[in-house]
Amino acid sequence: MPAPKGKILSIAIASGKIGYVFLIDNMLMDWGLSVRASKTPGLAKCKAQEWIDFYRPDIVVVEKTAKYSRKSIRTHSLIEAVANLCTDRKQQFIAIERQQTYPNKYDEMDALCLQFPQISGWMPDKRQPWDAETNDAIYFEALSMAVTLIEPPVNLPV
């Protein structure tokens, strides 16, 4: 299957932040985040609406989370609010389950920086387990989902 062309807006949500990457014909064009929008589902929905109205994507990518994932109940409610917004507005969207295809998130970020060098300046330094994750990590989560849409992983028989 050929890679989808057009405008892709990938929205990632994590504890304390909601971020996006925007691609046109599989080229990274823009990225951004909001800390305020992560406070309530209503604020997340408003911010996503703002991004959708501005970029006018052909498809929006959100994360498909299992009921028992490591994401908090609040984060689940924010993801659901963005998905519901897309449904209500009849905006084409896809929920993508994040696959762990690298040993850790920093190896994944390195690979994404090789593919999209313009975002390499936002790659966070490796953190200690007791340190909070930087806000910039959300860009790579959103980019990872967009890449999964563009280049779906091959499921090899076991």
pLDDT value at position 156? 40
What 8-state DSSP symbol labels residue 28?
E
Q: What is the pTM of this model?
A: 0.88
| 40's tokens | 């309530």
Q: Return the ∠ at Cα 28 (arms to 91 and 143), rounded to 5°.
A: 70
Q: Which of 10, 52, 7 has the alpha carbon at shortest distance from 26?
A: 7
pLDDT value at position 130? 67
CA distance 69 to 99: 13
Q: How confident is the model at residue 78 (pLDDT cuts 50, 70, 90)?
A: very high
Res. 4: pLDDT tops 80: no
CB atoms within 10 A of CB 91: 18
Share of the chain above pLDDT 90, in %: 57
How confident is the model over 89-103, as a mean pLDDT? 86
| Segments of 15-149 assigned E as strands | 17-24, 27-34, 59-63, 93-96
7-150 classified as CATH 3.40.50.2300: no
pLDDT in tens, 119-150: 988 888 787 776 777 788 899 999 999 999 98
Q: Which residues of 56-90 are buried (b: 16+ CB within 10 A; e: fewer)?
A: ebebbbbbebeeeeebeebbbebbbbbbebbeeee
CA distance 24 to 28: 7
How confident is the model over 59-84, as a mean pLDDT? 84
Helix (H) or strand (E) holding 107: helix 105-115
pLDDT value at position 58? 96
SS3 113: helix
